[in-house]
Structure 1
Amino acid sequence: MTQALRSLSITKSEQAFCDASEAFESLNLSSGLTLEQIVSAVEEIRGRRIRIKATDRLLGTAICGLWVPGRSQEWVFHPPTPWELQRQQFILHELAHMVLGHDANSAARVLLLEGLQSLSPELVRRALMRTEFRTVEEATAEYLADLMAEALRGTPTEPGAFEEVFG
């Protein structure tokens, strides 16, 4: 169980588990999955291209992922890491927010309508830079990311397919 789910009450944890499981099933992901295929599936759901970029600006912060939704494309930023599994988890967490439609909250909607330039840094931080896992929204996204990561690990071409390599 992730830290996200341990931080919530049993009822909220169960809701996060159910919502994430339902969202994962709705993705209808095939076997032999790659991260690129998951990104493509989410692009199809969202109707926009997703761009992913490592940025040094997140180094030394508590922020491990930043999703910036937009009209024609969406951005996922994450800190550079030498570990592919950690990079995948950063990306999958932000993709999970997209699948779950977490940009429908009022602060993110304002970002979409007004643009980043006219907003205070504090509003941007609260709307998009999630560093706490004590909310149902964050727990659900993390659990969905875990389910997607598990699907990736089920293929020997992705890092972490330990069982496939070593039996």
Structure 2
Amino acid sequence: MGNPDQFTTPIDLIVAPQETITVVDPRHPLFGRTLPCVGISNSCHRGRCCILWIRPTVERHVPVTATNLEYDPSTLYPLPISLESLQQLLQELLLIADARNGDPTHADSTTACPASTTKGEMPRPNLPDRGLDNAHSHPTTQPSSNTRQDVPGLSTSRKGDRP
């Protein structure tokens, strides 16, 4: 038969453990759910995983360390979001809010968080002057009449024509 490839190599299944497993790692998408366990697999690319039934015919491999079998709450894991990324998100949200409120001065520019802020202190955003809240929304110029205006000093030829 030859050597089996990665698709035909059997995955070692360990004898079925408890009937239900609870996902207790708060970083896992299935956190807080107690699901039926089909078994525990040990594969080279995933490590030890519980095979949990989400619903009939749908299984998910959840690392054993994220379940109530081996989870250690005293282990500190890095947060998936950092202070710097929160500051950047806040700046982007302020830019979007300014653009929606009709302040085009900050809408096209990106502002970096100042490096001089002390640790734990959020940078103060450059808030626009809110004195323009009662500005008129109609245009200040008349609509174009589609007539060309000659500008002194510029060629009157169109693209591709010779002057």
User: TM > 0.5 between the two?
Assistant: no
Larger C-alpha radius of gyration, 1 or 2? 2
In the superposition, the TM-score normalised over structure 2's length comes to 0.21
State the TM-score, normalizing by the size of structure 1.
0.21
The structure whose residues are more often strand, as a share, is: 2
Which structure is richer in relative contact order (CA contacts within 8 A, separation 6 or more)? 1
